[in-house]
Structure 1
Amino acid sequence: MSDTAQSASMGMDARPLTPVVGAEILGIDLGNVDDAQFAFIRQAFDRHAGLLFRGQDLSPEQLVAFSRRFGELDHAPIMENGQTAVPGLPEVYLVSNIKGPDGKEIGSLGAGEAVWHTDMSYLAAPPDISMLHAIEVPPAGGDTWLCGMNAAYNALPEELKRRVKGLRIKHDGTYNSGGYVRQGVTPTDDPRESPGTYHPVVIAHPNTGQPLLYLGRRRMAHIEGLDLAESEALLDELWSYATREENAYRHHWRIGDVLMWDNRATMHRRDPFDAASRRLMRRTQVKGALKPAAYAG
């Protein structure tokens, strides 16, 4: 029996969300995943770079347990309200605009737009995987977008592929995805002087070997060895391919959704929503196992 037939006989299925990124996984309860189911999830994740699981009734502890099967988890950073994490679970980060009894938001990132980015790519070994579980969702807005970076690379003209081969981009560490200056960082207007880490423009996926355009975020980026004007022009050209609609999946949230994405093979963003509506997501993040390596093909 083939792997596909065996999975179907076990009630599991992976249905692509777009031709280039994302799949919905059917027939699996993430609170009770056996080894065969996890092997199916792992294989589908490498193939599709983003996975959606609907109707998941998970406690924070169950979310952590499932996430940990992919590797060691990062501890949540200190949030804008001074909280560090869900009590007793330092791996869980709250993404929310809901205000607590003290009038402060219980989580981070509020109700505004989060621009296209790769999570924490300013680190030498950025996180491998990010995962969100929807607890409360607004009636409209707050959609999360994924774009496939293998598709973005494949869309580049051959001349542009040759031009960027061997180049590195500084992934800026000044701002978070909500546009806030990170704690302890002094902002500068010159991307050549900002804090961050240089990574290859095109990396190889460590599991599949696929070439991936690896951009991080546009703000304050700089291409090593180029003057500022030349770097800005080349970055604008690369970003024009990365964020095309045909490379993207737009996710409309429902309560109980779990959406996970490969931080190396995708970028993501979030639409704004009415600040008077409530939104609460629990997030976990798998630590980076390796530094991004240049694609040699």
Structure 2
Amino acid sequence: MGNRLERLTGYDRITVTPVTPTIGAEVSGVRVGDLDSETFDEVFAAWMDWKVLVFRDQDITVADHIAFSRHFSELEAHPFSPYLDGHPEVIVLESTPGEPFAAEIFHSDVTYRLCPPMGAVLRCRVIPPVGGDTIWADMEAALEGLDPETRALIDDRRAVHTVTKNVLNIKEKAERAEELRAEYPDREHPIVRTHPVTGRKCLYVNESFTLRVAGLDDDDSDALLRRLWRQALNPLYQVRVKWRPDTVIMWDNRCTQHYVVPDFFSSHRRMERTTLIGTEVK
């Protein structure tokens, strides 16, 4: 934590204001639609330090959103989510009173892939008058918070991630389960992941997509996963962000999980997201 706090005096072009000691910071002094190379370097460093960056008052276009995202990586199309007309790289996450929707389980995005996303950039388009916050969990801190016995148990183990765990309760996707498993076969990833940039380690299992621990029987696997999933629920490892108009938030999908507070279903909420292509999990 000390190293991250020391970084606060190392920026010339942006101002970084932490929201918690280990995860989440508000960044000011930058317009995400107009990023030169020097400012990008500072934003990238802040992203690696704080995992979740919040940019307020960003009156930008769809083209700005895409261009900002492409500073960090090429963009991918989500396999299931609807996308913006003419822009398959921009998915639409929308909830209305008639069709309520929220990602109500802590998760990292699409970990059933060989190369799950590096991160995402989420742009607020319509917010409820109250509610609809998003919570991110710092899975590096969550790993550090484990007792020594559990840590020793997981250090060299792998877990199986599957596309169908999170979708089988949805009728049309349940009917396509066999097809989905063929298109997106189960993947094993290390339970303790090493970040490819920072070298820091994090807990890399999530309730949405992690099916079982390789090499354990079902009962032991289920018990261990429940213990590990609970780490994301600890407020000590979380940052909760309240959305405002023209807010843009980016997060590192490799070392965080996120959850939308489902307290807004009587109102309209709409977000637009780009997803940054990642690399194989190590």
Q: TM-score range by the shorter chain?
A: 0.7 to 0.9
Partners of 1:154 and 1:220 in 2: CA distance: 20
Deviations 1:71-106 (A, max 9, x none): 110024444xxxx5222211100111249xxx9x6x
SS for the counterpart of 2:265 is coil
Shift of 1:154: 0.5
Unmatched runs of 5 consecutive residues or more in structure 1: 188-193
Say if 2:24 is the partner of 1:33.
no
Partners of 1:68 and 1:184 in 2: CA distance: 35
Identity of aligned residues (%): 33
- Note the 1:109-188 alignment, pairs <5 A: 110-176=100-166, 180=170, 182=173, 185-186=176-177
After TM superposition, the runs of 4+ consecutive aligned structure 1 residues lying more than 6 A away are none
1:230 counterpart (200, 220, 232): 220
Match of 1:71 in 2: 73
Match of 1:190 in 2: none
Q: Which amino acid aligns with 2:84?
A: V
Unmatched runs of 5 consecutive residues or more in structure 2: 1-5, 179-183
Match of 1:51 in 2: 53
Contact 2:55/2:247 (8 A) holds in 1:
yes
Shift of 1:216: 2.8
Change (3 A) 1:250 1:6: closer
Contact 1:138/1:273 (8 A) holds in 2:
no
Partners of 1:64 and 1:178 in 2: CA distance: 32
Shift of 1:241: 2.5
Q: Which amino acid aligns with 1:7?
A: Y
Partners of 2:26 and 2:174 in 1: CA distance: 36
SS for the counterpart of 2:16 is strand
Shift of 1:159: 1.8
Match of 2:245 in 1: 255
Partners of 1:119 and 1:146 in 2: CA distance: 12
2:280 counterpart (285, 291, 297): 291
| TM-score normalized with structure 2 length | 0.88
Contact 2:165/2:211 (8 A) holds in 1:
no
1:18 counterpart (17, 20, 28): 20
Contact 2:163/2:209 (8 A) holds in 1:
no
2:196 counterpart (198, 203, 206): 206
Larger helix percent:
2
Contact 2:32/2:68 (8 A) holds in 1:
yes
Q: Which amino acid aligns with 1:93?
A: I
Shift of 1:54: 0.6
Shift of 1:44: 0.5
SS for the counterpart of 2:236 is helix
CA RMSD of aligned residues (A): 2.5
| TM-score normalized with structure 1 length | 0.84
Contact 1:130/1:260 (8 A) holds in 2:
yes
Shift of 1:51: 0.6
Shift of 1:240: 2.4
Partners of 2:22 and 2:176 in 1: CA distance: 37
Partners of 1:39 and 1:273 in 2: CA distance: 37
Q: Which amino acid aligns with 1:50?
A: V
Q: How many residues align?
A: 271
